[in-house]
Structure 1
C-alpha cells in the first residue's frame, strides 16, 4: 500500500515510532515526495498476515496530517483450491465483490498475456485486474 500525506518528511519521521511500527508490517518505509504538490511524504507498507499493522498505524493517525490518502493498494490472496478451474472461478467471484468509492469509469481493465512464459512456482497464469489505470491492483 502506498499512502500519501501532507506531513513533511522530518515531521513524519519524528512523529511515527518506527520501533513499534516496523515489526507490525512485513515492510514499512517512508520517504519524501518531491513531485506531488499535495503530498509531501509517502509511506510504503506491506501488511503481514501475522500482524495487524494498520491498527497500529491508526493509533498514530494524527501524525499523517490533515490530508492523507491511500494512493495505491495491491491485494494478494492465498486461497487453497483443488484445480486450476476452481482457482479461476474463485478469482472472478472475488473480483466481482470489490467496490471502489468514486469509481469514475465504472469498469475494470484486465491485463493478460496469453503468450507469457511459465509463471514462477506457486503462481498461475491468470489475468490482473485494474481499476482506473492501476489505482487498485489485483494479482
Structure 2
C-alpha cells in the first residue's frame, strides 16, 4: 500500500501564501557592537541597513565590513528561526531536535592541500590583442 500523495496544487497554493506572508514580515538584528543594524524579510532578503556614525570614525571603520555581515547574518537567522515551523508544517517534516546544551564538540579543521596548476600544452595563448571591452566578434572567428 502506498502513502497518500499530497495534492500538488494545494501545496503550491499554500507555498505561495506562505511566501507572501514571509515577504511581508520584517526581522531586525544588530551587530555584536550594536553599531550596525540590518532588516530582512521573512524570506531573508535584505531591505534596510543602518550604520551608526560612530562606526565610520576611529578604529570602528576597520571592522565595518565584519559588522555588516554580522548584522545581516543575525537578522537572517531570526527570519529562519521564525519561519522554520511554518515551512516544516507545509512540507510535513518534523522540526529538528533542539541543540544539545553541553559543550560543543571540538573539531579540528585541516586545510585542504593546495591544488597545483599544470597548464595544458595549448594554454599559452596571448591575450594582448583581445579587446575585452567590446562585444564585437573577432574577424574570421568567434570571440573566444
Interval containing the TM-score (normalised by the shorter chain): under 0.3
Higher relative contact order (CA 8 A, sep 6+): 1
TM-score (structure 2 length as normaliser) = 0.22
More helix by share: 2
More strand by share: 1
TM-score (structure 1 length as normaliser) = 0.23
